[in-house]
Amino acid sequence: MTTFSDLGLPAPILQALTAEGYETPTPIQAGAIPHVLAGRDLLGIAQTGTGKTAAFSLPILGRLMMSDARPKPRACRVLVLSPTRELASQIEANIIAYAKFLRFSTTLVFGGVPVGRQIRACAPGVDIVVATPGRLIDLLNQRALTLDEVGVFVLDEADRMLDLGFMRDIQKIVSLLPKKRQSLFFSATMPPAIAKLASNLLSNPVEVAVAPVSSTAERIRQSVIFCPTRDKQAMLHGLLADDTISRALVFTRTKHGADKVVKYLNASGFKADAIHGNKSQNARERALAAFKSGSSRLLVATDIAARGIDVDGVSHVINFDIPNISETYVHRIGRTARAGADGSAISLCGEDERSFLRDVERLIRQKVPVVEGKLGSVSAPTQAEVPYRDPRAVRGRPGQGGKPQAQGRPGQPGSGTGRHGAEGAPRPNAGPARPRDGAPAQNRPRDASRPAAQGTDRPRGDGRRAQQPR
């Protein structure tokens, strides 16, 4: 069996892995590490929760060890980009854990926190910068940081980083990188159009794709409940009565929707927090920390939390809305069943979301089993306590309606029946290389790990107002 030492990683990194209790590389790690150590460009595609961060972090540390060079003032040797601040923070914490026995400096660069500390952290030069695009460009414009010495450039969630909303920033950043560099792109999904963009930025890349998207959700019990939009809150209430839900992440399509759901849940006696981009960085970090620590078992999120975020023991992902971008579904449900655990993903599908569901099923190349939900007792004046029937089974005249179900109908969500791939499904090897939370920070902006005292729910000073109901 392959071990981390077989992959050519140097001793101090192996020691850190041992200290963290990791034994066996996951397939993406085994596939990527030797190529990255050899200096190749790489496109890495692997299902969620299989240790992609370690797949690039470990060999990057190995690369850094090959040279005695120190970064010049305001320069960095490795640049890692992430689509959200929380993911950037998590990546940096992982790198710090892997670099436990090494003396490399790392720093976080992202918005929503004071810039001064980040500028000071960059001033002497830093080995590894983990950043989101906006603040990075800010620092580059201020000449607080230069990319002239970047030897390794990483795009995590690469397809997200290369889509329309981020493309301009990425182009700007790439234009400031040395031509001669190593580039590593990672994601669980890679739509063909984006893969083409990616290939323009990579030089003769190795492609390591260890699991097709279709098997992404093998250990996740997926189900969909057809539910009129107006009954969704009551349906969620009904779902939460299930006490096998130890920790649930509820996704909504909009920030306003997330706030509404939290309000409803709190009024119904459930403690829940929201996390989305209209919250202050302080409130975002508090909500995530409360969810991670278990002091709050429900987190209601926009797609800010869809990608990469690693929380142990998320038993359920609930899609309050079906995402309109199908790839997003794969990332959302990947927040459960991480690192060999299992989990459930339940999606509420309103009348107007059927086409989104069809898109998702086409992407994952499977039908999502339909279950009947039971409405909770609150705010369902007309249909309280009435099980909601699948309209596909009810509607349509014989011969032309009623799309057949491709898979058997599992029991109620969380009942443990109707599970796919429970036996004989490939499981990641035991002990994938993922560090625990709370790794000590070195040279990181203090504000990122220690929120400012002020606790508003509004963004600070960006001119936007919190969203108001109309």
Partner DNA sequence: AAAAAAC
Return residues touching DNA (CB under 7 A). Answer: 83-86, 110-113, 115, 132-138, 141, 163-166, 169, 253-257, 276-278, 302-304, 324-325, 461-462
Q: Nearest distance from residue 442's CB to DNA, in Å? A: 21
Nearer residue to DNA within complex by CB, 40 or 286:
286
In the complex, minimum distance from the CB of residue 267 to DNA, in angstroms, rounded to a whole number: 21
Q: Are 25 and 33 in contact (CB under 8 A)?
A: yes
Nearest to 266 by CA among 245, 229, 236, 286: 236
Cβ closer to DNA: 60 or 173? Answer: 173
CB 323 within 8 A of CB 251: yes
Structure tokens at 437: 């939370």
Nearer Cβ to DNA (256/286): 256
Q: Shortest approach of DNA to residue 222 CB, angstroms?
A: 22
332 CB-near residues (< 8 Å, 6+ apart): 249, 251, 303, 306, 317, 319, 323, 345
Q: How far is the CB of 110 from DNA (least distance, A)?
A: 4
Q: Which secondary structure element, helix H or strand E, spans residue 135, and what is its range?
A: helix 133-141
Question: What is the distance between the alpha carbons of residues 342 and 221, in angstroms, rounded to a whole number?
Answer: 8
The amino acid occupying position 249 is L
Of 168 and 362, the one with the shorter C-beta distance to DNA is 168
**By the 8 A CB rule, do 109 and 133 touch?**
no
Structure tokens at 72: 């010049």
Looking at the Cβ atoms of 72 and 168, the one nearer to DNA is 168
Going edge to edge, which strands form the sheet with 343-349?
A: 220-226, 343-349, 316-319, 248-251, 298-301, 273-275
User: Nearer to DNA by C-beta: 109 or 210?
Assistant: 109
Q: Which is nearer to DNA, 265 or 380 (CB)?
A: 265
**Which three-class secondary structure state does DSSP give residue 429?**
coil
Under a CB-based contact definition with an 8 Å cutoff, are residues 66 and 47 in contact?
no
Q: How far apart are CA 456 and CA 460, in angstroms?
A: 8
Contact in structure between 145 and 139 (CB atoms under 8 Å): yes
Least distance between DNA and beta carbon 38 (Å): 32
Query: CB of 197: closest distance to DNA in angstroms?
Result: 15
Q: What is the nearest approach in angstroms of DNA to the Cβ of residue 192?
A: 18
Min dist CB 400 to DNA, Å, is 27
Output the six-digit token pair for 353: 């979301």
Nearer to DNA, 254 or 417 (CB): 254
Edge-to-edge strands of the sheet including 206-209?
Answer: 106-109, 126-131, 76-81, 152-156, 182-187, 42-45, 206-209
Question: At closest approach, how far in Å is the CB of 168 from DNA?
Answer: 8
Is 201 or 325 the residue whose CB approaches DNA more closely? 325
Query: By C-beta, is 300 or 439 nearer to DNA?
Result: 300
Residue with tokens 């409803």: 264
Please give the Cα distance from 106 to 111 (Å, whole number): 17
User: Nearest approach, Cβ of 333 to DNA (angstroms)?
Assistant: 17
- Residue 141 or 244: which CB sits closer to DNA? 141
Asked if 26 and 432 touch (Cβ cutoff 8 Å), the reply is yes
Nearest distance, CB of residue 173 and DNA, angstroms: 11
**What is the separation of C-alpha 431 from the centre of its chain, rounded to a whole number of angstroms?**
20
Tokens of 17: 């892995």
Token pair for residue 3?
A: 């071990």
> At its nearest, how many Å lie between DNA and the CB of residue 239?
22
The closest alpha carbon to 240, from 357, 371, 373, belongs to 373
Residue 166 or 186 with smaller CB distance to DNA: 166
Which residue blocks in 206-280 are alpha helix, DSSP H?
A: 232-240, 255-267
